[in-house]
Structure 1
Amino acid sequence: MPVNENIENNATIVLNVIDGLDLGVPTEVQKFLAPVYETFPSLSNTIWGIPYANLIAAIVVFFFFLLLRRFFSSVIVVFLQKLAKKTSTYYDDKIISALKGPLGFIFVLIGLHLFFALIFKETETIKHILETLVIYAIFWAILSITEAMRGVVYDITGKFNKDLSKEMGNFILAIIKILIAGVGLGAMLQVWGINVTALVASLGIGGLAFALAAKDTIANLFGSFSLLADRTIRIGEWIVVNNVEGVVEDIGMRTTKIRSFGKSVITVPNHVIANNPIENFSRRGIRRIKMTIGLTYSTTTVQITNIVNDIKTMLQTHEGISHNDTLLVNFESFGDSSLNIFVYTFTNTANWEHYLQIREDINLKIMKIIESHGSSFAFPSQSIYVESMPQT
């Protein structure tokens, strides 16, 4: 069955829902009001064409359903939530909580329907508005259930790719929600007599203009496909891309949100990320230590040789240094003000805090080694030699 025909059939079904909401209440109330009019003739007087008794009854019925809504939210839903907590799964808890809003809204709609029915003001426009709100409530409930089942989607996507289960799940849920919202919007338009089929067909006339206008959106959509397929980045990873650095918070259909280290959120279009080099710090298992140590020119050959050997030995035995990666300690160059020792090695962790602790310990040990050999650190300085003093 075509999609438009489906929408039309769904809309037709929903159009009949509002007529069945009253459960015969207006008729019963009207029967009850008949002797009231006989007993109190003054209540048959009208305001804006509405008999007083009917207006009072309409207000009472409306507030009665508001009370029912409150009773439903505070008693029945709470009772169901307590029952759900006794089950082994937590999805029933989520579904009950998700349906609390939409089902409570239905009580308001019933109250409004009866209110207008009792004051004889349920015109075609009012009826269309109520029917639209019914459809809204139904699709609100569907979307809420979809969101409540997010964990199920994550479990399913995790079977295909555990590392990207959240990213793929979020993407699939976004598409499902758009489709549900589209069907709901089509049903609402059908209520107001708008031909959804003709509307969809008319969109084809401006298809080219729309495609040109939406080229960036399409590029971002394909960029998101690329990110998910290539597993380039994941939520929670520390990356740098296009001069933006931070932790990935969300990978959407159009953009990726990155939390900078200044705690601001930077939104980057997916096609920018897909088409630019990405430096992913979270995927390294080690971190580099690279430094140049400057010693004073008063340091002797024996001292500098011993210092280099002791630093190398210290690094080779240090528990925080990766022993399977490059380790270099060499007397590198004669600087302008110092004798330079080059140190190049890697820690065995990528955790920043742990890395800083290891680096601090190494720095202190290097200071002790240099002090123990009677040398000292150099600092920029200049020496001025005067060949002769002027005659006085």
Structure 2
Amino acid sequence: MELWNSVIERFSDILSNKFLDIEIWRIAVAGIIIILTIAVRKILVNTAALLIKKFSVRTKWVIDDELIVAVEPPVKLMVLIISIYFSARILGFKVTDESFSGHIIRSLIIFSLFWAIYRTAEIIARMFYRVSKKTHTHLDDILIPVINKGIKAVVVVISINVIAKEWKYDLGALLAGLGLGGLAFALAAQETLSNLFGGLAIMLDKPFNVGEYIQFDGMEGTVEDIGFRSTRIRTPDKTIVTIPNSTIAKANIINCSRRDRRRVKFSFPIKYGTTAKQLEQLLRRIREMLENHPDIHNESIYVYLDAFGTNGLELLLIFYTRTAEYRDYLAVKEDINLKLMNILNELGIEIAIPAVNVYVENK
């Protein structure tokens, strides 16, 4: 019994000692609170979320379920902040309005609140996106991502301003006092403003939408995103190119996705030994084949003897496919080429092969 009492007294003496002018028992209790909070906060938050979901499943709205998922991480952070607050009080820190620890706690609370609002903005964007899918205009499909980014940017700016005021800093007065520095900042922001107005011009003029294939200034690809500052394009080799909106707004844009047909133009030489009668039959057969082809626009077909070329009689073919999809377009061209080969074989006409005649003069 005396041994046990001595152990207790020894342990009490250790706990009553101080580390950095803080009693050991206070540090131990604060550590236990934080460790227990980290261990059980997920269970507590998940249990609360499960209870709320039981009520939310009765509603037809999807937004309430998404809202629970969005605020879950900020709520976990808030629980940890509360445990930090009590731990600070146990350690003997004065968590008052003017104390350093008080500023830290309130800054963390402000951050968690605005973090929840930031994540909620994504839910609002998805809600508008589902509504936009029911409309026939593409403008809302472009504006929704921009509005989403704008809301998030506003939330970030406000949160930084509120946290700065918590630490007695006025960002508005700080920016106003920059003087010539503000002028330099404005000059440096000219390019950003140019890109911003370029993005607004793209959204209002709508030369292209997300998902469309465009060409301009030697660049081509599928539009993946239209933002405030730039537009992202995925090129045919599957790389992402980010281009400033001011550059695109000034370019001549070819929107390949909005055409309803593709033009095919090519020529091929026929041997000079071909008679006029054979050539007339060939031209007639080609015209009939193109006019009766289900994937060719029969109102714009041109098949003519174009020139007497170096290697043979040049035939010119111009026509339009009914499809604008590149894969289908290639399939139609392949079918036309095979049919041309069959016609040439049936008529016994050969395509001229480029050749060079060399004459050697004996002296």
TM-score normalised according to structure 1 size = 0.83
- Give the whole-Å Cα distance in 1 for the aligned partners of 2:265 and 2:105: 70
* Structure-1 residue corresponding to 2:185: 210
Q: Any conservation in 2 of the 1:236–1:247 contact (CA below 8 Å)?
A: yes
- Flag the 1:161–1:118 CA change in 2: closer, same or farther, 3 A: farther
Letter in 2 for 1:372: E
- Bigger mean CA deviation after superposition, 219-228 or 170-179: 170-179
- Give the whole-Å Cα distance in 2 for the aligned partners of 1:196 and 1:170: 28
- Where 2:60 maps in the other structure, the secondary structure is coil
Aligned length: 352
Letter in 2 for 1:62: I
Post-superposition Cα deviations, 1:97-123, rounded to whole Å, max 9, x if no partner, equal 111111111112112222222111356
Map 1:170-181 to 2 at 5 A: 170-181=145-156
* Structure-2 residue corresponding to 1:163: 138
Post-superposition Cα deviations, 1:273-330, rounded to whole Å, max 9, x if no partner, equal 0011001101111111111122111211111111111111111110111234x21111
Letter in 1 for 2:335: D
Given candidates 257, 263, 274, the residue that maps to 2:232 is: 257
Map 1:302-317 to 2 at 5 A: 302-317=277-292
Letter in 2 for 1:70: K
- Give the whole-Å Cα distance in 2 for the aligned partners of 1:315 and 1:277: 33
- Where 1:149 maps in the other structure, the secondary structure is helix
* Structure-2 residue corresponding to 1:61: 33
Q: Any conservation in 1 of the 2:306–2:314 contact (CA below 8 Å)?
A: yes
* Structure-2 residue corresponding to 1:322: 297
Post-superposition Cα deviations, 1:324-361, rounded to whole Å, max 9, x if no partner, equal 4x211111111100211111011111111111111111
Post-superposition Cα deviations, 1:339-392, rounded to whole Å, max 9, x if no partner, equal 111110111111111111111111100110111100111121123467x866xx
Letter in 1 for 2:307: S
User: Cα offset for 1:82?
Assistant: 6.6
- Give the whole-Å Cα distance in 2 for the aligned partners of 1:128 and 1:69: 24
- Where 1:245 maps in the other structure, the secondary structure is strand
User: Cα offset for 1:161?
Assistant: 7.0
Given candidates 97, 116, 131, the residue that maps to 2:69 is: 97
- Give the whole-Å Cα distance in 2 for the aligned partners of 1:188 and 1:89: 34
- Give the whole-Å Cα distance in 1 for the aligned partners of 2:134 and 2:62: 20
Q: Any conservation in 2 of the 1:235–1:250 contact (CA below 8 Å)?
A: yes
- Bigger mean CA deviation after superposition, 71-80 or 353-362: 71-80
User: Cα offset for 1:88?
Assistant: 2.6
- Flag the 1:160–1:358 CA change in 2: closer, same or farther, 3 A: closer
Q: Structure 2 regions of 5+ residues with no counterpart?
A: 1-7
User: Cα offset for 1:163?
Assistant: 1.1
- Bigger mean CA deviation after superposition, 334-343 or 88-97: 88-97
* Structure-2 residue corresponding to 1:290: 265
* Structure-1 residue corresponding to 2:313: 339
Given candidates 197, 201, 214, the residue that maps to 2:176 is: 201
Cα RMSD (Å): 2.4
- Give the whole-Å Cα distance in 2 for the aligned partners of 1:284 and 1:188: 53
The structure, 1 or 2, with the larger RCO (C-alpha pairs under 8 Å, 6+ apart) is 1
Map 1:1-392 to 2 at 5 A: 40=12, 42-77=14-49, 80-81=52-53, 84=56, 87-122=59-94, 124-154=99-129, 162-203=137-178, 206-324=181-299, 326-384=300-358
- Give the whole-Å Cα distance in 2 for the aligned partners of 1:217 and 1:275: 15
User: Cα offset for 1:84?
Assistant: 4.3
Identity of aligned residues (%): 31
Q: Any conservation in 1 of the 2:175–2:182 contact (CA below 8 Å)?
A: no
User: Cα offset for 1:196?
Assistant: 3.5
- Bigger mean CA deviation after superposition, 148-157 or 129-138: 148-157
- Flag the 1:88–1:377 CA change in 2: closer, same or farther, 3 A: farther
User: Cα offset for 1:183?
Assistant: 1.0
Letter in 2 for 1:344: I
